[in-house]
Amino acid sequence: MMDGRTARGAKNRQAVLDAALTLMEEGNLQPTAQAVAERAGVATRSVYHHFRDLETLYLDAAQTQIARHWVLLMEPVSGDLDERVDRLVALRAELFERVAGTRRAALLREHESVVLSERLDESRAALRAHLRTHLPELADLDPPAREAAYALCSWETWDVLRRHQSLSVTAARAAMTTVLTRLLTG
């Protein structure tokens, strides 16, 4: 059982973490300690009390997003090829939309943070493995086509479709589904 002080500390830590995530999701990809503290309703020193530095806060934010949202990839995917492709793209679209802000924030720091770089590499590997598990047809493709399929289904491609090409979620899903199906059916 937690005493009152410990419970308040845990509540404040969670408030700081939630504030950082909210700011990132709103487009503030590099929130300052002051901005996080203001959003959380705590003093700026509380940010550093709970997190050694902003890098630690950002890493915990990324881990929190993984814990909250990667469970989507555990959902069942079955059926014929068209049904599986449609379901896989739908799951990725939902995942990518949920983590967009923190993913963009992590990409900003990937080149300067070994730990963030490792986490992003792990997530890319997990997404590739998820495709291989549910689309065994990938093994029949020649290596360049297989790599193109992985790239097509990546967060980076999703971001291009959504942000740079200004496609709606529905249109981005349709683009990804169409090209992936064509790659797999020749």
- Helix/strand/coil (H, E, C) string of 138-179? HHHCCHHHHHHHHHHCCHHHHHHHHHHCCCCHHHHHHHHHHH
Q: What is the pLDDT of residue 103?
A: 86
Same domain for 79 and 137, yes or no, is yes
Same domain for 42 and 79, yes or no, is no
Same domain for 26 and 101, yes or no, is no
Local structure of residue 72 (DSSP, 8 states): G
Same domain for 91 and 146, yes or no, is yes
Tell me the pLDDT band of 10, cut-offs 50, 70 and 90: confident
Q: Is 166 left (phi over 0), alpha (psi -120 to 50) or beta?
A: left
Q: What is the pLDDT of residue 65?
A: 80
Same domain for 83 and 130, yes or no, is yes
Closest CA to 186 of 137, 132, 133, 128: 137
Same domain for 96 and 173, yes or no, is yes
Above 70 in pLDDT, residue 174?
yes
Judged by average pLDDT, the poorest of 13-27, 132-146, 168-182 is 13-27
Whose tokens are 């806060």? That residue is: 57
Same domain for 46 and 80, yes or no, is no
Count the neighbouring beta carbons within 10 Å of the beta carbon of residue 162. Answer: 18
Most confident of 10-19, 77-86, 101-110: 77-86
Q: What is the pLDDT of residue 2?
A: 60
Would you say residue 60 lies in a domain?
no
Whose tokens are 């959504």? That residue is: 162
Same domain for 84 and 43, yes or no, is no
Would you say residue 175 lies in a domain?
yes
Above 80 in pLDDT, residue 109?
yes
Above 70 in pLDDT, residue 1?
no
Helix (H, G, I), strand (E, B) or coil at 81: helix
Are the C-beta atoms of residues 61 and 30 closer than 8 Å to each other? no
Distance CA 141, CA 151 (A): 14
Would you say residue 66 lies in a domain?
no
Same domain for 84 and 175, yes or no, is yes
Would you say residue 62 lies in a domain?
no
CATH of the domain at 37: 1.10.10
Predicted confidence (pLDDT) per residue in 46-88, tens digit: 999 999 988 888 888 878 887 887 888 888 899 999 999 999 9
Most confident of 12-21, 34-43, 85-94, 116-125: 85-94
If residue 131 lies in a helix (H) or strand (E), which one and from where to where?
Answer: helix 114-134
Same domain for 8 and 100, yes or no, is no
* pTM over 0.85, yes/no: no
Same domain for 130 and 101, yes or no, is yes
Would you say residue 75 lies in a domain?
yes
Q: How many domains would you assign to the chain?
A: 2
Domain that holds residue 104: 71-185
Would you say residue 63 lies in a domain?
no
Above 70 in pLDDT, residue 135?
yes
Same domain for 44 and 110, yes or no, is no
Are the C-beta atoms of residues 101 and 27 closer than 8 Å to each other? yes
Would you say residue 111 lies in a domain?
yes
Would you say residue 58 lies in a domain?
no
If residue 34 lies in a helix (H) or strand (E), which one and from where to where?
Answer: helix 33-40
pLDDT (average), residues 166-177: 98
